[in-house]
Every structure is written in structure tokens, then in C-alpha cells.
């Protein structure tokens, strides 16, 4: 095929792609021809290098820096369709004055451009998969022959393809990275959900199995791997699971404990207190217990906190159940004493005593304990009597009775010693 | 020996007298080329002479297994040099001194009984700011004259991350063969030493290095 130069009318800026092939020299000198062919080999290598690169900056630099090896021309820079300008080696950072406007007017055809101080300057389109990416702007101190212009055109074409590929690759990598991140987040969510389900199932099993506070502590320890303590509102240890149980168990002062409880009530969430992460178990407004994870290394993660919160809920239910039983027993006991003293419904009294696991079929006596103003509240006197009887290893039924306390008991005891014990409990 | 010899790089064979320019990216790629090329030479019983640009690389090559599979170091089959004692001996680069280094090395190998030589040079030394490095391209051109006269293959290693496109173009022009991405690109139109020196008698090193850290 005869090489020919395709030209367009001077001054026209049509958008048709123009491919300029070098004119066939009439009788090319053998040396010149071999030099041209050598340059094409070099172009092939440059093209291979561009193709293997996924770094746009590297591709542009390679194309621009190869120019001096191919001819007397230089790459002024690259103007992209988004208005960005990438300067060639040794050129200023900004685009030459008026060039961006000229490039915008050239479209995908390319063509001559006016550059201050450059007798010859031409913009060559950079084409990629998605169309025009921009232009390579080359300049020279003199008009270039067709062979040299052809070389620049090939360089520009290869640069465009390589840049396009690099951008596609970058987008693909970004998409892949985004997908990987999404997958990772999804996997984390699944893991977190799975652990939450494990926590829920394990603690629910404890709640319905009647394992009590030791069971709750053990389950929480197994779920978190950390030692677990359950305390009553006064700081007394009621259950422990895991290694390192202190002996004796430390107890804070009353004031310090109250301060801590107030802080926990305000927070309402797991709160760090030294080496422990603690949470209140308070089914209503009153504090019934405290659940603590012993975490000196501060390694508790989100799932551990979820387990602690869930554990506190289960503990609240357990404590509420125990409180309910105690309240019911007390109420039943009081009603029973009242009915016995009133002398009504003997058969029913026997049945209710059996429900309280109290043997009412023994001979009993009734003891009335008068407070005589020593107790500020009836319940205080009742509690003092109850404790004194327990210390004396005597069972019985108790009830407030017209400002005093009535005791129904089958036991034989030293009543004077009992009196002194009650007096001592009430502060003399 | 006239037929191609295994290059040790993929399935590529090299005919005696080959002067190949190999482009690579980064140390791992370089080490792969060096190990393959020299390993094949050691296995074949060739005399191997290499100039590498760091003591670490020299140490790595010292552990290559020898002709009989014995572990290195060698007793004469593999000579490892650094630029300070070769390309830049005396503090500057001169084409004639370096060509003498290679020819003397090949003559010595013949005396030692080797029938074939395998030479390799890591060219990053040329990125240093040393006198004479501007003659790199003319040296590469002159080296073609030497290799055509000996039973030898020569590999010149150029790091694409460190040499500019201009150097790449000129190196391609002066090498009969270019190895890139595992492909051997023949260049029957390469510019021979006489022509190159006639067209560019004062040919400078075509461009400043991209990275001036070496």
C-alpha cells in the first residue's frame, strides 16, 4: 500500500480523525530507512512497556521522556478532556496560556496549536476505549517531517490506549477493593450476629434452667472468657465464675459503694470501674445486684458488652423472681400469724403453714415483743426480732401487732437473752 | 557452538554473540532474571561473569548451585563484581576500559578451559553522578563489536522504574535484541557501532535518571 499523507483544509477544525502516514521517500537512503525502522522497534518496546503499566503517571512520563530519543521534538504536556493539564519533563506546572481553550476546540481530531515561543506545535488525540481522553501536545523548534509526525501520532495513540487501560484497571481495582470491603463488613456483621445469637441462646438457657446466679456467672464467663462477679447492692459477693477469685472478697465502704451505684444508675450502660466493667441489675428503680466482668487488660469488645448487658437482664429477672418469692412468703407468714392470733380458720391456717414448710401442729406459744419507741419503724423492730430468733436458732412466725411484734413459736429459749439480743440490735 | 543456548529465562534461546538488553521492574524481577540466566550458565558449565550494583545482590548470587549442583560459593566458575571495580573503576566510566575488562575476562576463561561465556551487567550504576556515564549508549553500541567475536552471550539489565523513556529508546536502538515481559524482540535494524558513532559521535547519556538516588 502506498503511504500517503492525508491532509485537511488549512484552518478547518473538523472532528474527523485524521491519520497521517509518512510520505514514501523518493529514494530513501539505506541508513535513514534503517534508522526509521530502528525507531519503530523502539516504539514497539515503548508500547509494550506502556501496556504492562497500570500507573497512569508512569505511562505519561514514559511517553514524554522517550521523545528525545525519537527525534528533535518534545512533549509539552497532556491536556485532558476534564481540563486537567499534565506537563511534560522540564515544563512548567500550568498549561500554556490559551492552550486549554484551543484543545477544547480541537475535539478528537487534533491539529496545530499556537504556543508562545514554539515555531511548531501540534496536539495529537489520546484515544481510549471510552473515546477521547485528551491530547498530547508536542512542540519543536522547526517544522517536523512527516516521518517524525507519524512517530508522535503512534506514541499518542499508544499512550491513549495505555492510559485508558490503566484507568479501567484502577476502576476495576477500586471496585474489587470496594467489594472486598463490603464482603469483610458483611462477614463481620454475620460473625457479630452469630455471636449475639450464641449469647442470647446461652443466657436464655440459663434463665429458664433455674441455675441461679452461679449459672449466670458461669455462662457469662464462658461467653467472654473473663472472670465474672455478681454482687448484691452492698458489695457482697453472691457468685463468681472463672479464675482468680479474691479471698477474702474486697468490700468497699458504704459511701463509696453508694457513689458507685449512683454513677451506674446515671450511666445505664456498662461502665468501667478500675479493672472491672460493671452494670446494674435493677429490674425496677431499686438496685438489686451488680454484674461485673473482670477485665484488667481492657480487651472487652462489643460482643462482650452485649453479653454483659444481656447477662444483667437475666440477672435482673432472677433477682426479681427471688424477691417475689421472698415477698410472697413474708406476706403469707404475716397473714398466717394474724389469723392464728384472731383464732379464725384453723384448717386453712394449717394448710398455709404447710405451704410455708412450717410445722404448725406442734404446741406453740405467742410472744409479744414491745418496742416502746426504741425502733423508728415497725419493720425495724420486726427485723430485729427475726434476727434475734435466727441467732437463737429458733423458728417461728412473725407479724407486726399494734405497734409491737407478735411471735408464734414452738421453740424453748432463754427469753431474757432474746430480749437483750433485740435491744442490742436496736442500739440498746 | 553455533546453535542457541538456553537463556534460563522462560524458553528463550540465545545464539552465541547475542547482546541482549533486558528490561525489568524492581529488585524481585531483576533477581529472577539473574538467577535464571546465571543458573542456566552454571548448569551448562559456562564461565559466568556478572557485575551487580549492590553487595546484597552479589551475596544472593553467591548461593546459586554450581555446575554439579554443589552449593556456592564457587571456585572460579562464577565471578561476581561490583561497579566500583569494573564500570566505575578509577572513579569514572570509560568505554575502552570496560571493553578491555570483558575481553580479558573472556580470554582468561578460555585459558581456564571454558568454551563458552555468559556475561551480565546490572546497569543501574549509570544512574550515579559519575564522570563518563554519558558514554553509556556508545559503550553499549561498541560492545556489539566485542560480542560478535567471542563464544559469549551478554545480558544488560535496565530497571524501567529508574531509567527514562529516552534511555530506553536509545538502548533499544543499540541492542540487536531486547527482552521485555518475557518476550525477545529482535531488532535487525539496530544501529551498529560504526553507524551509531558516526551519527552521534558525542552521544551523551540521553536523559537524566528518573530517580537520582542511586
CA pair distance A352, B53, nearest whole angstrom: 101
Pairwise pLDDT comparison (A2 vs B52), residue with the higher score? B52
Fold match, A32-172 / A210-322: yes
Contact pairs from chain A to chain B, CB under 8 Å: 83
pTM for the predicted model, two decimal places? 0.58
Among B165, B181, B189, beta carbon nearest to A65: B165
Q: Within an 8 Å CB–CB cutoff, is residue B185 touching chain A?
A: yes
Each residue's pLDDT, cut to its tens digit, for chain A (428 residues) gives 333 333 323 333 333 333 343 444 444 566 677 777 777 888 888 888 888 888 899 899 989 988 888 889 999 999 999 989 999 888 888 888 888 889 988 888 889 999 988 899 999 999 988 899 999 999 999 998 888 898 999 999 999 999 999 999 999 999 999 999 999 999 999 988 898 899 999 988 988 888 899 999 999 999 999 999 999 988 999 999 999 999 999 988 888 988 998 888 888 889 999 999 999 988 666 767 999 999 999 999 988 999 999 999 999 888 888 888 888 888 888 888 888 887 766 778 888 888 888 888 888 888 888 877 666 666 788 888 888 888 888 888 888 877 888 888 888 878 888 888 888 888 76
Highest mean pLDDT among A323-337, B63-77, B193-207: A323-337
**pLDDT for position B73:** 57
Name residue, grid cell 406459744.
Answer: A365
**pLDDT for position A11:** 34
Q: Are A63 and A46 in contact (CB under 8 A)?
A: yes
Instruction: Note which residues in 6-25 of chain B have CB less than 8 A from chain A.
Output: 23
**pLDDT for position A29:** 61
Total Cβ atoms within 10 A of residue A361: 10
**pLDDT for position B186:** 82
Residue B158 in grid coordinates: 535496565
Among A35, A45, A89, beta carbon nearest to B191: A35
- Minimal C-alpha gap between A154 and chain B (Å): 14
User: Is residue B21 classed as helix, strand or coil in its secondary structure?
Assistant: strand
Q: Cα angle at A165 between A164 and A170, to 5 degrees? A: 100
The residues spanned by each domain of chain B are: 22-199
Task: Find, in chain A, the residue whose alpha carbon is nearest to that of B165.
Answer: A66
Is the domain spanning A32-172 CATH 3.30.450.40? The answer is yes
Among A32, A65, A71, the strongest candidate for a mutation testing the B interface, having the largest count of B CBs within 10 A, is A65
CA pair distance A138, A154, nearest whole angstrom: 13
**pLDDT for position A18:** 39
Between the CA atoms of A175, A180, A186 and A188, what dihedral angle is there, to the nearest 10 degrees?
A: -150
Q: Cα angle at B57 between B52 and B60, to 5 degrees? A: 130
- Cβ separation of B172 and A45 shorter than 8 Å? yes
The residues spanned by each domain of chain A are: 32-172, 210-322, 326-425
Q: List chain A residues with CB under 8 Å of B195.
A: 31, 34
What CATH number does domain B22-199 carry, 3.40.50.620, 1.20.120.450, 3.40.50.300, 3.90.1170.40? 3.40.50.300
Q: Within an 8 Å CB–CB cutoff, is residue B195 touching chain A?
A: yes
Closest by Cα among B188, B186, B98 to B146: B98
Residue A338 in grid coordinates: 394474724
- Cβ separation of B168 and A44 shorter than 8 Å? no
Interface predicted TM-score of the whole assembly (ipTM), two decimals: 0.70
Sheet with A74-80, strands from edge to edge, namely A85-87, A74-80, A131-140, A120-128, A111-112
What CATH number does domain A210-322 carry, 3.40.50.300, 3.30.450.40, 3.50.50.60, 3.10.20.30? 3.30.450.40
Among A28, A47, A52, A69, the strongest candidate for a mutation testing the B interface, having the largest count of B CBs within 10 A, is A69
- Cβ separation of A41 and B169 shorter than 8 Å? no
Among B21, B26, B169, the strongest candidate for a mutation testing the A interface, having the largest count of A CBs within 10 A, is B169
Among B160, B173, B199, beta carbon nearest to A42: B173
Among A31, A39, A46, beta carbon nearest to B165: A46
Amino acid at each position: 500500500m502506498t503511504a500517503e499523507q492525508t491532509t485537511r483544509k488549512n484552518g478547518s477544525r473538523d472532528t474527523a480523525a485524521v491519520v497521517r502516514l509518512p510520505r514514501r521517500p523518493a529514494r530513501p537512503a539505506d541508513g535513514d530507512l534503517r534508522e526509521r525502522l530502528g525507531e519503530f522497534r523502539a516504539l514497539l518496546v515503548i508500547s509494550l512497556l506502556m501496556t504492562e503499566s497500570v500507573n497512569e503517571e508512569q505511562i505519561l512520563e514514559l511517553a514524554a521522556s522517550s521523545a528525545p530519543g525519537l527525534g528533535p521534538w518534545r512533549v509539552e504536556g497532556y491536556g485532558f478532556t476534564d481540563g486537567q493539564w499534565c506537563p511534560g519533563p522540564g515544563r512548567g506546572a500550568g498549561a500554556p496560556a490559551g492552550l486549554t481553550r484551543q484543545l477544547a476546540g480541537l475535539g478528537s481530531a487534533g491539529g496545530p496549536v499556537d504556543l508562545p515561543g514554539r515555531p511548531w506545535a501540534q496536539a495529537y488525540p489520546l484515544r481510549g476505549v471510552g473515546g477521547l481522553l485528551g491530547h498530547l501536545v508536542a512542540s519543536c523548534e522547526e517544522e517536523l517531517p512527516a516521518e517524525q509526525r507519524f512517530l508522535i501520532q503512534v506514541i499518542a495513540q499508544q499512550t491513549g490506549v495505555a492510559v485508558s487501560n490503566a484507568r479501567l484497571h484502577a476502576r476495576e481495582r477500586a471496585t474489587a477493593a470496594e467489594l472486598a470491603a463490603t464482603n469483610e463488613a458483611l462477614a463481620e456483621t454475620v460473625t457479630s450476629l452469630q455471636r449475639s445469637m450464641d449469647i442470647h441462646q446461652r443466657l436464655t438457657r440459663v434463665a429458664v434452667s433455674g441455675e441461679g446466679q452461679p449459672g449466670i456467672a458461669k455462662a457469662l464467663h464462658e461467653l467472654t472468657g473473663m472472670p465474672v462477679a455478681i454482687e448484691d447492692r452492698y458489695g457482697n459477693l453472691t457468685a463468681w465464675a472463672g479464675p482468680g477469685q479474691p479471698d477474702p472478697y474486697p468490700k468497699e465502704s458504704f459511701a463509696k459503694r453508694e457513689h458507685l451505684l449512683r454513677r451506674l444508675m446515671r450511666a445505664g450502660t456498662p461502665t468501667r470501674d478500675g479493672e472491672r466493667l460493671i452494670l446494674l441489675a435493677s429490674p425496677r428503680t431499686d438496685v438489686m445486684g451488680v454484674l461485673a466482668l473482670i477485665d484488667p487488660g481492657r480487651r472487652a469488645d462489643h460482643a462482650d458488652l452485649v453479653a454483659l448487658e444481656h447477662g444483667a437482664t437475666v440477672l435482673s429477672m432472677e433477682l426479681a423472681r427471688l424477691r417475689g418469692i421472698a415477698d410472697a412468703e413474708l406476706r403469707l407468714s404475716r397473714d398466717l400469724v394474724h389469723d392464728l392470733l384472731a383464732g379464725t380458720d384453723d384448717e386453712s391456717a394449717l394448710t398455709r403453714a404447710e405451704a410455708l414448710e412450717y410445722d404448725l401442729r406442734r404446741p406453740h406459744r405467742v410472744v409479744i415483743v414491745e418496742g416502746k419507741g426504741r425502733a423508728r419503724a415497725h419493720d425495724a423492730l420486726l427485723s430485729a426480732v427475726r434476727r434475734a430468733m435466727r441467732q437463737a436458732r429458733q423458728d417461728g412466725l412473725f407479724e407486726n401487732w399494734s405497734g409491737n411484734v407478735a411471735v408464734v413459736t414452738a421453740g424453748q429459749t432463754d427469753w431474757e437473752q432474746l430480749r437483750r439480743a433485740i435491744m442490742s440490735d436496736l442500739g440498746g | 557452538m553455533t546453535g542457541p543456548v538456553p537463556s534460563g529465562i522462560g524458553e528463550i534461546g540465545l545464539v552465541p554473540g547475542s547482546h541482549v538488553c533486558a528490561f525489568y521492574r524492581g529488585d524481585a524481577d531483576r533477581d529472577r532474571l539473574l538467577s535464571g540466566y546465571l543458573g542456566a550458565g552454571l548448569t551448562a558449565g559456562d564461565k559466568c561473569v556478572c557485575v551487580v550494583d549492590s553487595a546484597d545482590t552479589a551475596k544472593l548470587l553467591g548461593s546459586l548451585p554450581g555446575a554439579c549442583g554443589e552449593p556456592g560459593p564457587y571456585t572460579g566458575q562464577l565471578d561476581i563484581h561490583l561497579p566500583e571495580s569494573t564500570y566505575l573503576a578509577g572513579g569514572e566510566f570509560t568505554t575502552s576500559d570496560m571493553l578491555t575488562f570483558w575481553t580479558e575476562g573472556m580470554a582468561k576463561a578460555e585459558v581456564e578451559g571454558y568454551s563458552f561465556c555468559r556475561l551480565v551487567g546490572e546497569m543501574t550504576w549509570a544512574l550515579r553522578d559519575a564522570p563518563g556515564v554519558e558514554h553509556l549508549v556508545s559503550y553499549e553500541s561498541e560492545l556489539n563489536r566485542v560480542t560478535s567475536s567471542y563464544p559469549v552471550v551478554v545480558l544488560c539489565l535496565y530497571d524501567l522504574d529508574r531509567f527514562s523513556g529516552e534511555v530506553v529508546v536509545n538502548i533499544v536502538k543499540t541492542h540487536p535484541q531486547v527482552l521485555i515481559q518475557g518476550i525477545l524482540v529482535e531488532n535487525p535494524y539496530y544501529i551498529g557501532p560504526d553507524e551509531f558513532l558516526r551519527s552521534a559521535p558525542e552521544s551523551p547519556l540521553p536523559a537524566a535518571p528518573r530517580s537520582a538516588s542511586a
